[in-house]
Structure 1
Amino acid sequence: MVILMFYAGQELTVSGKVKSGCDYFSINIGHDVNNIALHFNPRFKYNKDRNVIVCNSNRGGWGSEQKEKVFPFQRDGDFRVVFNFNNDQFYIRLPDGNVFTFPNRFGDDRFSHLHVEGDVKIHSFKVI
């Protein structure tokens, strides 16, 4: 878990490497572990999901999932994902340059919590 100040209009870059046995990992942005505005969850294999990115939010319970079919992640491969947001949307730029959005269901203009779960090694994160 990392405490950071991430404001609307700023850019958060997360760089890392997916481990060879990874089935899924997540990058979570919010206020704390129980209040996650963006749960970014690439899934190589999880239940029935195969090679899909699932996004969601959690504030007293999980919301409805949004699934993205673009999947530029590889086991044993490096990645760089860039996040920015405003009061309405998160903008997520994937390693292949594709961009998609996820609603900012909290409507907040700053977040102070980042945590990563799963079989990945984080090389760096940077807010500018």
Structure 2
Amino acid sequence: MFLFSWVIVVTHLNIQPGDHIELKGQVAPDAKSFAVNLGRSGLDLALYFNPRFESQGDAWTIVCNSLQKGEWGEEQREPRFPFQQGQEGKMTFSFDAQEMCVTLQEHLELTFPNRLGLETISFLSVEGDFKVTSLKFK
């Protein structure tokens, strides 16, 4: 069995509307799920982005949500799933006053409401069955 369990936390960012966060990495061969979190802090997330290969009753589904003062919002599920276990994953994140935008594997675009109305992203974390190999801020 091949196990990944990675956690990366980046704080004190100053990501503005129109800026991009490019994330590349390796999905574990036996991945169950991973998550990318963007927001003000670990308790205030404008975007909880959680690809689930087989986790919490979901299979091959991307779950998005927000977390405000420790309270979860309503989940949004995306059945289009471009990730493969054991393969490279590429994600680009951006946002504006209305929505969070995610481009996956350079071709699939998803949006999620900016429920917190964030004007700056200062917190990013990546956790789970995904090993980050490149993180760029543009």
TM (norm. structure 2) is: 0.89
Structure 1 residue 96: Cα displacement: 5.1
Cα deviation per residue 1:4-52 (whole Å; 9 max; x = unaligned)? Answer: 2211111111110101121000000011111111000000001321100
* Structure 1 segment 3-18 matched on structure 2, within 5 A: 3=11, 4-18=13-27
Structure 1 residue 118: Cα displacement: 0.3
Query: What percent of counterpart residues are identical?
Result: 38
Q: Give the total of aligned pairs.
A: 128
Cα deviation per residue 1:63-113 (whole Å; 9 max; x = unaligned)? Answer: 000000110101111011011110100111111501111000011111111
Q: Which runs of 5+ in 1 are unaligned?
A: none
* Structure 1 segment 1-128 matched on structure 2, within 5 A: 1-3=9-11, 4-59=13-68, 60-95=70-105, 97-128=107-138
Q: Could you list the runs of 4 or more consecutive aligned residues of structure 1 that deviate by over 3 angstroms after TM superposition?
A: none
Structure 1 residue 125: Cα displacement: 1.1
CA RMSD of aligned residues (A): 1.0
Q: CA–CA distance in 1 between the matches of 2:94 and 2:56? A: 29
User: Which AA in structure 2 matches 1:46?
Assistant: S
Q: CA–CA distance in 2 between the matches of 1:107 and 1:41? A: 20
Q: CA–CA distance in 2 between the matches of 1:47 and 1:118? A: 14
